[in-house]
């Protein structure tokens, strides 16, 4: 019976993740990743050093770029890793909680959660980060110190939140080791054993191997301080981050308030019951589930904003296992009501994901083809910001494209750093230097600065609107045709 249940949950998780996997075009972050991986290795490392992430994800996925540019194939590794995370959640539940029903319940939540399905369909590092976090926790509770060191090293070279998670695991190890030390008969011998067999391979060696990148990280933090899009921490930002670990981006608007209530009620109730009944592994679940968020909030308040809900995906399996354990320990009537409310909310979120995911990732190729059908020799595509430059360069590498930049005007939030832009080696021109027939691509939104809006709109005033891509009260994007005589 257990085997059939496991296979059914894995089959469900696989079907949910493979459906529409290649339907959407690569959006900005995915196209950026693909462009980075396609660069020669020295340029790739230069671009990564100018960004805010470590290099392991790009190095591991890099061979796929040379095989195919198919969206389906590019996203397949994330899909497979997400399916593996569903299985590993079950393994963690069995080994940590020693509770088969709780493990199956947590596994089923992992299979259904809209956030999990979302990141299974993105060519980014978050599915990899989550699997590494699960493997690290399993290594910790199994006392496999060398394997824990390997996982820790991979974590900190995959995402900067890996540093935060390794620190949390270090605290969990320290608490467990202290208990062992206090109960040991020969304490100094036991202390030496802890240092040599546990601390050094699991944490010290990975830390030493990370030192070369630590200097790069210092420069990356300047990128964040210089106007990245991570906003200051507020109570609303914390609530939003926790909600996004369940509901992701596509829960329909009229259901979002209900979804927030359901998810937070489930987490609160599960946390209270976990503390009340203290099952096996309860303390580690709380540490892994909540401490990364707490550390991120404290660091954001004391230093600079670093709260990023995507990085907190390392905590998700622990949160799901808490809820799964709590649901498995109540009377059938309460279990049906709680599980039904949670399942219905996640199904609505999945409906939103499948309904809007393709639309949300835009349709760049349609507009590229329209420009291509009217292309003349000597034409050039000029991008006023990095967003369109990234996507259009990936899908139309054969068309001449340049980046327009007004001197003295700051880049919008989330733009590439000067180091990353130099690594791509894109031609950069000033607005007054544009000549000939130019296809202007521009998007205005809440994160663009007034300076950019002003000179961009002055430039567009000379041009003819060719195609409005989208427009609402907050933002618009389109393609304009500008013709200037050569100077």
Q: Using one digit for the tens of pLDDT, what is the confidence trace for 262-276? A: 999 999 999 999 999
Question: What is the average pLDDT across 182-201?
Answer: 68
Instruction: Give residue 414's pLDDT band: very low, low, confident or very high (50, 70, 90).
Output: low
pLDDT at 184 exceeding the cut of 60: no
Domain boundaries in the chain? 2-22+70-359, 364-484
| pLDDT tier, 3 (very low <50, low <70, confident <90, very high otherwise) | confident
H or E element in which residue 467 lies: strand 464-471
Distance CA 464, CA 439 (A): 10
Q: Tell me the average pLDDT across 114-139.
A: 97
What does the pLDDT average to over 425-448? Answer: 86
CA distance 96 to 187: 27
- Number of helices and strands in the chain (H, E): 21, 6
Per-residue pLDDT at 287: 97
For the segment 63-80, the average pLDDT, to the nearest whole number, is 94
By percentage, how much of the chain surpasses pLDDT 90?
73
Cβ–Cβ < 8 Å for 434, 406: no
> Would you give the distance in Å from CA 251 to the centre of its chain?
18
Provide mean pLDDT across the span 418-428. 90
Alpha carbon distances (Å) from 360 to 56, 115, 118, 137, 469: 28, 15, 12, 34, 13
Query: Which among 414, 351, 361, 349 has a CA at the least distance from the CA of 123?
Result: 361
How far apart are the C-alpha atoms of 306 and 315, rounded to whole Å?
16
The dihedral of CA 126, 129, 133, 134: what is its sign? positive
Between 67 and 327, the more confident residue is 327
Provide the H-helix boundaries in 19-55: 28-38, 41-49
Q: Which position has the higher pLDDT, 295 or 181?
A: 295
Sign of CA dihedral 428, 431, 437, 441: positive
3-class secondary-structure state, position 485 = coil
- Which ranges constitute the DSSP H helices of 303-380? 316-327, 332-360, 364-373
Q: Using an 8 Å Cβ cutoff, are 477 and 457 in contact?
A: no
Instruction: Answer yes or no: are the C-beta atoms of 481 and 463 closer than 8 Å.
Output: yes
* pLDDT at 68 > cutoff 80: yes
Residue 140 in this model has a pLDDT that exceeds 60: yes
What contacts 123, CB < 8 A, 6 or more positions away? Answer: 26, 30, 33, 34, 61, 74, 75, 77, 78
**For 286-332, what is each residue's pLDDT tens digit?**
999 999 999 999 999 998 888 999 999 999 999 999 999 999 999 99
The closest alpha carbon to 440, from 473, 475, 402, 396, belongs to 402
Q: Which of 465, 481, 457, 486 is nearest to 380 (CA)?
A: 481
The tokens for 320 are: 């799901």
Q: Which three-class secondary structure string do you get for 231-260?
A: CCCCHHHHHHHHHHHHHCCCCCHHHHHHHH
pLDDT confidence of residue 467: 84
Residue 111: burial class (beta carbons within 10 Å; 0-12, 13-18, 19+): buried
Indicate the DSSP class of residue 378: T
pLDDT of residue 229: 61
pTM for the structure as a whole:
0.94
**Contacts with 137 (C-beta within 8 Å, 6 or more apart), sequence order:** 92, 96, 169, 284, 288, 317, 318
Distances (CA, A) of 215 to 49, 285, 340: 10, 33, 50
Q: How far apart are CA 473 and CA 37, in angstroms?
A: 36
CB contact at 8 A, 36 and 44: yes
Residue 17 has pLDDT above 70, yes or no: yes
Average pLDDT of the residues of the chain: 90
At 441, which helix (H) or strand (E)?
A: strand 436-444
- Condensed to tens digits (0 to 9), the pLDDT of residues 324-377 reads 999 999 999 999 999 999 999 999 999 999 998 877 777 899 999 999 999 999
Q: Please determine, for residue 20, whether its predicted confidence score (pLDDT) is greater than 90.
A: yes
CA distance 251 to 356: 9
Q: Over 60: is that where the pLDDT of 186 sits? A: no
Who contacts 261 (Cβ-Cβ below 8 Å, separation ≥6)?
none
CA atoms within 13 A on the CB side of 149: 17
**SS3 state of residue 350:** helix
Q: Residue 441: which pLDDT band, with cuts at 50, 70 and 90? A: very high
Tell which residue, 212, 217, 162, has the closest CA to residue 50.
217
What pLDDT does residue 218 have? 87
pLDDT of residue 266: 97
Residue 337, classed as helix, strand or coil, is helix
Instruction: Tokens for 353, please give them.
Output: 């994901």
Between 261 and 1, where is the model more confident? 261
CA atoms of 338 and 258, how far apart (whole Å): 14
The predicted-structure confidence for 208-235, as pLDDT tens digits, reads as follows 999 999 999 988 877 655 455 677 899 9
**What is the pLDDT confidence band of residue 2, given thresholds at 50, 70 and 90?**
confident
Residue 183 reports pLDDT greater than 80: no
The predicted model gives 189-206 an average pLDDT of 82
Strand partners, 401: 381
Q: Radius of gyration of the chain from Cα atoms?
A: 25
Comparing 414 with 324, the larger pLDDT belongs to 324
- Confidence label for 44 from pLDDT (cuts 50, 70 and 90): very high
Query: Bridge partners of 402?
Result: 382
């Amino acid at each position: 019976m257990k085997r059939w249940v496991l296979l059914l949950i894995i089959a469900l998780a696989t079907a949910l993740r493979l459906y529409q996997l290649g339907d959407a075009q690569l959006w900005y972050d995915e196209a950026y990743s693909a462009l980075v991986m396609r660069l020669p290795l020295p340029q790739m490392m230069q671009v990564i050093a100018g960004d805010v992430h470590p290099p392991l994800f790009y190095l591991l996925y890099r061979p796929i770029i040379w095989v195919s540019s198919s969206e389906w194939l590019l996203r397949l590794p994330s899909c497979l890793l997400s399916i593996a995370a569903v299985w590993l959640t079950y393994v963690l539940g069995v080994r940590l909680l020693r509770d088969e029903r709780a493990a199956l319940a947590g596994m089923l939540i992992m299979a259904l959660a809209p956030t999990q399905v979302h990141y299974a369909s993105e060519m980014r590092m978050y599915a990899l980060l989550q699997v590494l976090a699960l493997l690290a926790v399993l290594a910790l509770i199994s006392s496999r110190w060398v394997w824990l060191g390997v996982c820790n090293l991979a974590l900190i070279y995959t995402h900067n939140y890996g540093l935060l998670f390794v620190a949390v695991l270090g605290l969990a190890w320290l608490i467990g080791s202290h208990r062992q030390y206090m109960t040991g008969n020969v304490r100094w011998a036991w202390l030496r054993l802890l240092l040599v067999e546990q601390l050094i391979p699991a944490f010290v060696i990975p830390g030493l191997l990370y030192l070369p990148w630590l200097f790069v990280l210092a420069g990356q933090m300047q990128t964040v301080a210089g106007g990245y899009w991570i906003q200051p921490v507020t109570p609303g930002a914390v609530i939003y981050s926790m909600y996004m670990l369940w509901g992701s981006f596509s829960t329909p608007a009229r259901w979002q308030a209900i979804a927030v209530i359901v998810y937070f009620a489930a987490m609160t109730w599960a946390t209270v019951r976990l503390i009340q009944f203290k099952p096996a592994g309860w303390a580690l679940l709380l540490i892994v589930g909540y401490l990364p968020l707490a550390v991120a909030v404290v660091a954001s308040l004391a230093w600079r904003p670093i709260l990023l809900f995507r990085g907190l995906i390392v905590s998700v399996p622990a949160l799901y296992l808490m809820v799964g354990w709590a649901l498995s320990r109540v009377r059938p009537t309460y279990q049906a009501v709680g599980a039904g409310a949670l399942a219905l909310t996640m199904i609505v979120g999945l409906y939103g994901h499948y309904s809007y995911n393709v639309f949300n990732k835009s349709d760049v190729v349609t507009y590229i083809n329209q420009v291509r059908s009217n292309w003349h020799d000597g034409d050039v595509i000029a991008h006023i910001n990095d967003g369109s430059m990234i996507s259009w360069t990936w899908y139309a590498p054969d068309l001449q494209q340049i980046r327009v930049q007004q001197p003295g005007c700051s880049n919008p939030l989330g733009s590439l750093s000067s180091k990353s832009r130099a690594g791509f080696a894109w031609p950069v021109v000033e607005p007054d230097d544009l000549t000939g027939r130019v296809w202007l691509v521009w998007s205005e939104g809440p994160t663009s600065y007034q300076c950019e809006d002003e000179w961009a709109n002055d430039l567009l005033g000379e041009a003819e609107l060719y195609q409005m891509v989208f427009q609402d009260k907050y933002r618009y994007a389109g393609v304009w045709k500008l013709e200037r005589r050569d100077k």
